[in-house]
Amino acid sequence: MMVSEPGKWVEPMADAGVNQYTFHIEPVKEVIPLCRKIREAGMKVGLALKPATGINAVRQYIDHADMILIMTVEPGFGGQKFMNDMMPKVQWLRHNYPSLDIEVDGGVGLNTITACAEVGTANFKCYQAGLGNISKGENVLQAGANMIVSGTAIINATDQRAVMASLRETVESSIHKCNV
């Protein structure tokens, strides 16, 4: 839900049978009470971050969430270019929360899925995100996002089924390789 008052739509969504409610933290003053309200309504909690929102803004809420969504485009419309520089956020989350659901949304397709699914320290430096180094090792392969939103890459594909299968296979293979 990219709305200014996500609290307004919790009950209607629960009534409609939604099982996970993801909202942007940016406009919300009281995030934890909203997380509780969503859980009490029987849904899982997803917290979304716009590209300009640093990971520090969500750290205090992670224990109240089931999933963190890292937007890899400016929210609003499909067909935008994937923002590779969001991957240190994914890397930090996976390193610190190995079993957390992490989603990426925006510009995800066959050319960018590996960057989303595998966030090795050789490729991304955490200090770029102001998070400090998370590993002394180089070339450490780490699983990244395990939930993917892909619009344009699938819609425009000739063989949509094959593209979806390939996206899924890349994510599953990374999870398997990294024992997440």
Ligand X SMILES: O=C(CO)[C@H](O)[C@H](O)COP(=O)(O)O
- Binding residues (CB under 6 A) for ligand X: these are 73, 75-76, 78-80, 105-108, 149-153
Up-side HSE of residue 49: CA atoms within 13 Å toward CB? 25
* Closer residue to ligand X in complex, CB, 23/121: 23
The sign one gets for the Cα dihedral 151, 155, 156, 161 is positive
Q: How far apart are CA 162 and CA 148, in angstroms?
A: 16
Do residues 43 and 14 make contact, with C-beta atoms less than 8 angstroms apart?
yes
Q: How far is the CB of 153 from ligand X (least distance, A)?
A: 6
User: Please, which residue, 73 or 93, has the CB nearer to ligand X?
Assistant: 73
- Cβ nearer to ligand X, comparing 146 with 150: 150
Residue 57's contacts (CB-CB under 8 Å, 6 or more residues apart) are: 25, 26, 49
**Shortest gap between Cβ of 155 and ligand X (angstroms)?**
7
Strands 44-49 and 20-24: parallel
Bridge partners for 60 per DSSP: none
The four Cα atoms 110, 83, 69, 175 give a dihedral, to 10 degrees, of 40
Instruction: Give least dist CB 105 to ligand X, A.
Output: 5
Nearest-approach distance from CB 36 to ligand X, in angstroms: 26
CB 50 within 8 A of CB 71: yes
- Nearer of residues 48 and 143 to ligand X, judged by Cβ: 48
Minimum Å distance from CB 71 to ligand X?
A: 7
Nearer to ligand X, 2 or 141 (CB): 2
